[in-house]
Amino acid sequence: MHKLPSFKPAWAAGQRCIIPTEAVFEPNYESGQAVRWRIYQEADVPFGIAGIYRRWKEPQGGPALFTFTMITVNADTHPFYKRFHKPGEEKRMPIFLDKEQYGPWLQCGLIDASLFFKQHPDPFLGEAAPLARMPKAVKELSPKDELLPPAPPKPVKAPKAPPGPPAQGDLF
């Protein structure tokens, strides 16, 4: 984090964030093929993942935007997370924060932030989720692709009835 040019400024400035999520998806190759797995906690308790953020502008102009990245740690020896990613490649897992760690993560100094770089010991649940698809990268989107499902149509209001005596049976 403190060496890579893409992360170093945000890390040095203490621009830490917590990324809320209900699940993460990882590729499992135990069958010989990549099978997307949904990783979650019992009872679908949300995760808080340690991250950093930065503000940036497109070189072509436009409004300032915020971007973030989740921080990962080596998981080669983690009892559950070592099952994911391609064989022979380093296994990585996000830094999952417990609720009582949210404040300390956001407020600690630079030296203390590295203390959070550990494997989360709690048990995780996982299941093959071959129908769960990750969105295409933004640069791969075509104009016909949508990032979100279309909004439902707005309800059409019935025209107001002209004032007059209430119809028989109406209370209001």
- What CATH number does the domain containing 67 carry? 3.90.1680.10
Specify the pLDDT at position 124: 65
Average pLDDT, stretch 151-160?
50
105 within domain boundaries: yes
C-alpha torsion angle, residues 114, 119, 124, 128 (rounded to 10): 100
150 within domain boundaries: no
C-alpha torsion angle, residues 101, 106, 108, 109 (rounded to 10): 150
Give residue-wise pLDDT tens across range 48-86: 999 999 988 888 888 888 999 999 988 888 888 888 999
CA distances from 126 to 33, 120, 132 (A): 17, 15, 13
The reply to whether the predicted model has a pTM over 0.75 is no
Share of the chain above pLDDT 70, in %: 69
Return the beta strands (E) in 9-128 as ranges.
16-21, 24-28, 35-40, 47-56, 65-70, 72-74, 92-94, 96-97, 125-128
Q: Which domain holds residue 63?
A: 8-129
Tally of domains in the chain: 1
Kindly report the backbone phi and psi dihedral angles of residue 73, in degrees, each rounded to the nearest multiple of 5, phi listed first: -130, 160
Average pLDDT, stretch 93-112?
90
172 within domain boundaries: no
The residue written with tokens 């640069």 in the block is 139
140 within domain boundaries: no
Specify the pLDDT at position 86: 93
Residue 150 — pLDDT band, cuts 50, 70, 90? very low
Specify the pLDDT at position 115: 82
3-class state of residue 44 by DSSP: helix
Cα torsion 73, 76, 79, 80: sign: positive
